[in-house]
Structure 1
Amino acid sequence: MVSQTRGVLYPARLPEFHRLPPEAHARDLVVWFWIPEWDIEPGRSSRQDIVGYPALNLVVDQGVVTLSGATTRAAHRDLSGTGWAVGALLRPAAVAVLTDDPAALVDDETIIDAPDLVDAVGVAMRTGSGHRERAVTAFSDWLALRIGPIEGAVSQANALVDVLMGDGAADTVEEAATRLAVSVRTLQRLAHRYVGVSPAAMIRRRRLQEAAERLRLDPGLDLSALAAELGYADHAHLTRDFRSVLGIAPRTYRAGAGVESAEGASP
């Protein structure tokens, strides 16, 4: 599994946050479950900034189930009071059943009518020790029952995400198509149908997430060297990508993330 905080821009601000693997029978449906829990003193809030994965999320939050699409920019949420959420980062096999048009949900969300999922996850989260694991089991069971067995093009779409986002991911769309033994056009069609964004956009998002994580963890990292390592044309290309999605330059983000890390590490 990828690091617990990749995609989270300022981890020191996080409340209690966990990423947990799905149950075995839901591994073709979910990459991981993410569960924040918070208890923030009155009059204060905690801003969470995220550069999301190019995927859809199914989320149980405040008694509502939402299906959120892939994003084209950084997003944030201000947490206050006491609460929790349980989200599933979906694989294409699950997306295929939940929506016919994931592209229509890019930078948007829709409510899913699933009171049984709300009840099952809510009961699990309100129990004592092991509540997160029980919530994952309940969510995995619901998805497995709702989605059923997968095959054909859906299995191929799952493989597409692995090639573009997993360990040793392809650096170009052409490389990904070659690995999957399909044409570039077929690859693009699969991405549009099951993710909602292009394969090139998925590669760019992966690079940006890794760049942000590397800059946060190594404040002395040379930007030109990082750009070359991640496949950017040059330092300026990395900076443009940062600005277009995060709204700030890499140097500005690195300085702010360094302060956050220092504050988070203090007693």
Structure 2
Amino acid sequence: MESAPDPRGVLYPARLPAIERFSPGAGLQDLVSWFWLVDWNIAPGRTSRQELLPFPQMNLVIEPEGITLSGPASGASHRDLSGSSWAVSALLRPAAAQALKVAPVELLDQEMQFSAPGLLAAIAKIKAQPEQADAGPACAERFGSWLTAHLPAATSSGLQANELLDTVAAERGIVRVSQLAQRLSLSTRSLQRISERYLGLVPLAVIRRYRLQEAAHRLREDPAVSIAGIAAELGYADQAHLAADFRKVLGYSPGTYRKAETSLPALPPRH
């Protein structure tokens, strides 16, 4: 499996433990965006905070304590890491919702225990092998094999939902629902129905998530570009509209985010 890095989604990458990402096999590409794996070893008494603007998708997460299906997030979120542990996760494509027989909207900002007989034990066994210096590919392959064996193929409507997400992710100029509907040759109502059924979010929230992810990435990685320039690149009418979206979702301005070198006030928990 080839590594499939994507810089979007993490607000402060330098603060996080190294994350490995691996592409799914050919038979899973309609159901899984990628597998991601992380190990951490935090000094006693300390906590490492992950500040995220998550992808508008569900995650199937394996940890030593069990397996959970995490629903889409309605906005920015965070997770505090402490001690030593690991996680192996699959970022699920919209079509996976039907394959898993779940409604993402019912899992918005929540998670549920997930039954996957034998999967946790198989992953834990790989992680426990001291001679397995690089367990990432083996974990991703085992996880993928389980999903292939247990999930049905994506339906035509699921593939349509995948196309919706892919279009928003790839085309920076899409900032309005009407633009997306026209691009996909759908009515606004049909677009809304597909988005809510397979992603658990309205189309505007999906669009805003990707545009803000891209804006945060550009602010972080390219200090030479102006905020007004980033707004223009992403199809915003002006800098003020980008700033308004930034404050609404993250709680602070693009300028504040760019200046932050170590930490910002903790984000409130999302329920």
* Common fold: TM-score over 0.5: yes
| Residue in 2 that maps onto 1:166 | 170
> Secondary structure of the residue that 1:77 maps to in structure 2?
strand
Structure with bigger helix share is 1
Q: How does 1:43-192 map to 2 (within 5 A)?
A: 43-127=45-129, 128-166=132-170, 170-192=174-196
| Residue in 2 that maps onto 1:33 | 35
Looking at structure 2, the residues matched to 96 and 22 of structure 1 have their Cα atoms a distance apart, in angstroms, of 18
Looking at structure 2, the residues matched to 149 and 29 of structure 1 have their Cα atoms a distance apart, in angstroms, of 8
Looking at structure 2, the residues matched to 247 and 207 of structure 1 have their Cα atoms a distance apart, in angstroms, of 16
Residues 1:188 and 1:259: Cα distance change in structure 2 (over 3 Å): closer
Q: TM-score, normalised by structure 1?
A: 0.89
Residues 1:2 and 1:235: Cα distance change in structure 2 (over 3 Å): farther
The one of 224, 238, 253 aligned to 1:234 = 238
Looking at structure 2, the residues matched to 31 and 8 of structure 1 have their Cα atoms a distance apart, in angstroms, of 16
> Does the Cα contact within 8 Å between 2:36 and 2:89 map onto a contact in 1?
yes
Q: Return the letter of the residue paired with 2:231.
A: A
Looking at structure 2, the residues matched to 168 and 245 of structure 1 have their Cα atoms a distance apart, in angstroms, of 18
> Secondary structure of the residue that 1:211 maps to in structure 2?
helix
> Does the Cα contact within 8 Å between 1:26 and 1:141 map onto a contact in 2?
no
Looking at structure 2, the residues matched to 8 and 118 of structure 1 have their Cα atoms a distance apart, in angstroms, of 26
Write the deviation string for residues 78-128 of structure 1: whole angstroms up to 9, x where unpaired.
Answer: 111111101111012211132432111111111112242212222233331
Write the deviation string for residues 196-218 of structure 1: whole angstroms up to 9, x where unpaired.
Answer: 00121111000000000000012
| Residue in 2 that maps onto 1:264 | none
Looking at structure 2, the residues matched to 29 and 57 of structure 1 have their Cα atoms a distance apart, in angstroms, of 11
Q: Return the letter of the residue paired with 1:141.
A: S
Deviates more, 1:158-167 or 1:85-94: 158-167
Write the deviation string for residues 104-158 of structure 1: whole angstroms up to 9, x where unpaired.
Answer: 1111111112242212222233331331111111111121222122232122222
The Cα shift of 1:257 comes to 4.2
Aligned length: 260
> Does the Cα contact within 8 Å between 1:94 and 1:143 map onto a contact in 2?
no
Residues 1:146 and 1:124: Cα distance change in structure 2 (over 3 Å): same
> Does the Cα contact within 8 Å between 2:172 and 2:234 map onto a contact in 1?
no
Q: Return the letter of the residue paired with 1:121.
A: I
Q: TM-score, normalised by structure 2?
A: 0.88
> Does the Cα contact within 8 Å between 2:173 and 2:234 map onto a contact in 1?
no
Q: Return the letter of the residue paired with 1:194.
A: Y
Looking at structure 2, the residues matched to 14 and 215 of structure 1 have their Cα atoms a distance apart, in angstroms, of 18
